[in-house]
Amino acid sequence: MKQFESFRLDTSNECLWQNHLQINLPPKPFAVLRYLVENPGRLITHNELLDALWPETYVQPQVLRTYMLDLRKILGDDPACPRFIQTLPKRGYCFVAQVKDGSGTEVADASAVEAQPAIFDGVVGREPELLRLKTLAQALACGQRQTVFSTGFLCPFEAPERILACGQRQTVFITGPTGIGKTALVDAACHQMVAMLSATVAAGQCVEGLSKKVDYYVVMEILRHLCASADGERVIRILSTMAPAWLPTLGRESATPATTDPRFTPQRTPGDICGALEELAKEKALVLVFEDLHWAHDSTLELISALARRRTPAKLMLLVTYSSHCTSAEHPLKALKQDLVLHRQCTELALAPLAKTAVRQVLCRELGQEALPTGLDTFVYRYSEGNPLFALALLRHLISQHVLMRDGANGSGRWEQRAPFPDMETGVPQELVQLIDPEIERLPPAEQRILEAASLMRVVFPAWAVAAVLEQGLAETEEACDKLARRLCFVHRAGPDELPDGTRSDFYAFAHGLYREVLYQKQSASRRAKGHTRIAERLGELFAGREDKVAREMAMHYEAAGNWKRAITALRTASRHAHQRQAYSEAAQLLQHSLGIAENLNDAERRVIEREIQAELDLARVATEGPKQSQHTSAEIDGFWMGT
């Protein structure tokens, strides 16, 4: 535990605390902050930070600037007068705040309590969101209308008092990506409200491909649940009086005599059903759940808009969930939410990824034991990035692959690790592919090709690399990537950066590494090889005359393409560059790696190249040990590496 001013960096649970408030950070921003905090008071160069956090991966410093901007917002730091992170132009960063070990008794005791997330009705790590919904429910009991949309990323500094201070009707969007736990949170909140208010709860589920074609599809499902509830008779009586046109669709007959005029056709109107629902919610709290509203027909959105804006007192709450990965900037649901935000008629609960300690609790609960196999929580947290559905899918994958097995003769004992954890970069578990692939398949083929090209550059990718893979212009590619970043929640813009030839190229990033892995694995081996080769060649063009600076990245792409000779050549170039920087151990490691790649060559080529590499490796080891212990002089060693 590291402490600076009012913040504590919890390295065990990989989260940040400000006083008693837990702030969950994505893995990479947390890693950046941790590296700075663990190295206070000294210059951390761009290269040092990139090498520490992105080993073997080509990443431009612009990505760091994006993460620094996010960290400064969270810390409330002013770059013009920094209290925490000081930028040293063209050089790097320095953490200027005083850092203390959080080993004091008071701090240790507080963190020990806070670090253990409670489990509420099957939900782990969602205490702030459940407290917020409980507060809204308490206001609901006083007759204030609350409309709750379930989305996904809770601002850590937004207090409940700020939301309820104006006393106006509220719409709370609870949103987030697939698998983040929206439904589980809503179920737990409804359980709370039934226990606390004896509320009537009715839920409806939007269905992809169907709900958009049928007017009020999910509304009718909710009304059917209400008619079948314990208050069903009262519901039918009120609908019959105030919204009779809605009953025939429900298979119910209205108690109000129908007109005999054949020219008259009763119409379902939003005003009628709004009035009926408000009448239902006058005496008893009514909670209506609309799930996956991104698939809803426009008529349903119009009804929700009307319910959110009407001023008639009613103990009515709407809980609405939608996936941020399935809603583009042009989606009418986004426009509805933005308009309600503008008029201060809604609150947003955006579900953030779970902290590492919460992921551990999920695993403990699922396995039924408090002590986990060593490293299991770290492995699952790393690849799930705090997504609970992904975490459980990874756990099931480890069990199916017999990495985790029960001990004891009959397999009824504790879970233990029986094999090494798999490398997720060599293949994503099929269950996760089935979760992610539908979102990708909904995209047009041209956009899928852009994302597949981007996946060749790992999680962070520059537009120039995508342009190189697709063999198209940079301006055209950047425009296409910008459109994707505006429409998709699993891709975002990381900012621009200047390339060595003076041109500028935008950088982007996948919000979750598993999306990148699925896109990468969707491509054939030959197609991936062509893409990696084009990226390596473009790197050589961009750094013409200075190829040694990117030789390591070029080697990575050539190796991925199966171009063994060019990969070995690039690694030997990178080794010479390491020697020039007096990084002798690194030079030896690069040469050792090139020896491994040489195993793929035919016997004749391998023997020649192995002799050359072995000679370079011997000299690299001599340089590491020091020329005084060798028959080679310093001039001979430097002359060899400089090519003289």
pLDDT value at 640 more than 60: no
For the ranges 10-19, 268-277, 295-304, 471-480, which has the lowest average pLDDT? 10-19
Could you tell me if 214 and 308 lie in one domain?
A: yes
Confidence at 628, pLDDT banded by 50, 70, 90: very low
Chain-centre distance of CA 522, in angstroms? Answer: 20
Could you tell me if 217 and 290 lie in one domain?
A: yes
Which residues, including other chains, have CB under 8 Å from residue 131's CB and lie 6 or more apart? 160
Positive or negative: CA dihedral 418, 53, 541, 65: positive
SS3 163: helix
304 within a domain of the structure (yes/no): yes
The β-bridge relationship of strands 404-406 and 415-417 is: antiparallel
Residue where a domain terminates, one of 319, 350, 381: 350
pLDDT value at 629 more than 70: no
For the ranges 56-65, 266-275, 578-587, which has the lowest average pLDDT? 56-65
Say how many C-beta atoms besides its own lie within 10 A of residue 606's C-beta: 16
DSSP 360-397: HHHHHHHHT-SSPPTTHHHHHHHHHTT-HHHHHHHHHH
Could you tell me if 285 and 139 lie in one domain?
A: yes
**Residue 420 phi, psi (nearest 5):** -65, 150
Confidence at 58, pLDDT banded by 50, 70, 90: low
Distance between CA atoms of residues 1 and 499, nearest Å: 39
Amino acid identity, residue 627? P
Q: What is the pLDDT of residue 59?
A: 62
Distance between CA atoms of residues 74 and 30, nearest Å: 11
Could you tell me if 182 and 203 lie in one domain?
A: yes
Choice between 171 and 615, residue whose per-residue pLDDT is larger? 615
- Integer angstrom CA distances of residue 152 from 25, 116, 182: 14, 22, 7
Please state the rounded mean pLDDT for residues 531-539.
Answer: 95
Could you tell me if 279 and 203 lie in one domain?
A: yes
For the ranges 173-177, 265-269, 273-277, 599-603, which has the lowest average pLDDT? 265-269
300 within a domain of the structure (yes/no): yes
pLDDT value at 176 more than 90: no
pLDDT value at 597 more than 70: yes
Choice between 195 and 424, residue whose per-residue pLDDT is larger? 195
What proportion of the chain, given as a percentage, has pLDDT over 90?
A: 31
The number of residues making up the chain comes to: 644
Confidence at 60, pLDDT banded by 50, 70, 90: low
429 within a domain of the structure (yes/no): no
Choice between 533 and 460, residue whose per-residue pLDDT is larger? 533
Q: For residues 580 and 593, is the Cβ–Cβ distance under 8 A?
A: no
Could you tell me if 104 and 132 lie in one domain?
A: no
Quick: pLDDT tens for 361-414: 999 999 989 899 999 999 999 888 899 999 999 999 999 999 999 887 666 689
pLDDT value at 40 more than 80: yes
37 within a domain of the structure (yes/no): yes
Terminal C-alpha separation, the chain: 51
Quick: pLDDT tens for 457-470: 888 899 999 999 99
263 within a domain of the structure (yes/no): no
pLDDT value at 163 more than 90: no
Choice between 527 and 210, residue whose per-residue pLDDT is larger? 527
Choice between 119 and 314, residue whose per-residue pLDDT is larger? 314
CATH number of the domain enclosing 27: 1.10.10.10
260 within a domain of the structure (yes/no): no
Amino acid identity, residue 161? E
Distance between CA atoms of residues 389 and 434, nearest Å: 12
Could you tell me if 475 and 607 lie in one domain?
A: yes
CA angle 367, 369, 375 (to 5 degrees): 75
Distance between CA atoms of residues 52 and 557, nearest Å: 20
Element (H, E) at 93: strand 92-95
Distance between CA atoms of residues 593 and 56, nearest Å: 12
Q: For residues 208 and 291, is the Cβ–Cβ distance under 8 A?
A: no
Q: What is the pLDDT of residue 372?
A: 93
Which residues, including other chains, have CB under 8 Å from residue 40's CB and lie 6 or more apart? 4, 95, 96, 97, 98, 99
Please state the rounded mean pLDDT for residues 600-607.
Answer: 91
Could you tell me if 221 and 189 lie in one domain?
A: yes
Q: What is the pLDDT of residue 156?
A: 39
Whose CA is closest to 142, among 120, 169, 122? 169
Domain of 78? 2-114
Q: What is the pLDDT of residue 254?
A: 57
What proportion of the chain, given as a percentage, has pLDDT over 70?
A: 83
Residue where a domain terminates, one of 59, 81, 114: 114
Domain count of the chain?
A: 4
pLDDT value at 157 more than 60: no
Confidence at 53, pLDDT banded by 50, 70, 90: confident
Residue where a domain terminates, one of 62, 83, 114: 114
Could you tell me if 51 and 88 lie in one domain?
A: yes
Distance between CA atoms of residues 369 and 348, nearest Å: 35
Choice between 158 and 254, residue whose per-residue pLDDT is larger? 254
Q: What is the pLDDT of residue 598?
A: 92
Quick: pLDDT tens for 236-293: 999 999 999 998 888 766 555 554 445 445 688 889 999 999 999 888 888 999 999 9
371 within a domain of the structure (yes/no): yes
Q: What is the pLDDT of residue 275?
A: 93
Neighbouring-strand partners of residue 4: 7
Choice between 609 and 163, residue whose per-residue pLDDT is larger? 609
CATH number of the domain enclosing 208: 3.40.50.300
**What radius of gyration, in Å, describes the C-alpha atoms of the chain?**
29
Amino acid identity, residue 121? D
Could you tell me if 479 and 410 lie in one domain?
A: no
Which ranges in 442-583 belong to alpha helices (H)? 445-454, 463-470, 474-487, 513-521, 525-542, 551-561, 564-580
Which ranges in 243-355 belong to alpha helices (H)? 270-280, 298-309, 332-342
Please state the rounded mean pLDDT for residues 43-48.
Answer: 82
Q: For residues 512 and 424, is the Cβ–Cβ distance under 8 A?
A: no
Choice between 398 and 110, residue whose per-residue pLDDT is larger? 398
Averaged pLDDT of the chain: 82
259 within a domain of the structure (yes/no): no
Could you tell me if 480 and 575 lie in one domain?
A: yes
Could you tell me if 390 and 499 lie in one domain?
A: no
Which residue shows structure tokens 């006393």?
167
pLDDT value at 183 more than 60: yes
Q: For residues 391 and 184, is the Cβ–Cβ distance under 8 A?
A: no
Say how many C-beta atoms besides its own lie within 10 A of residue 253's C-beta: 12
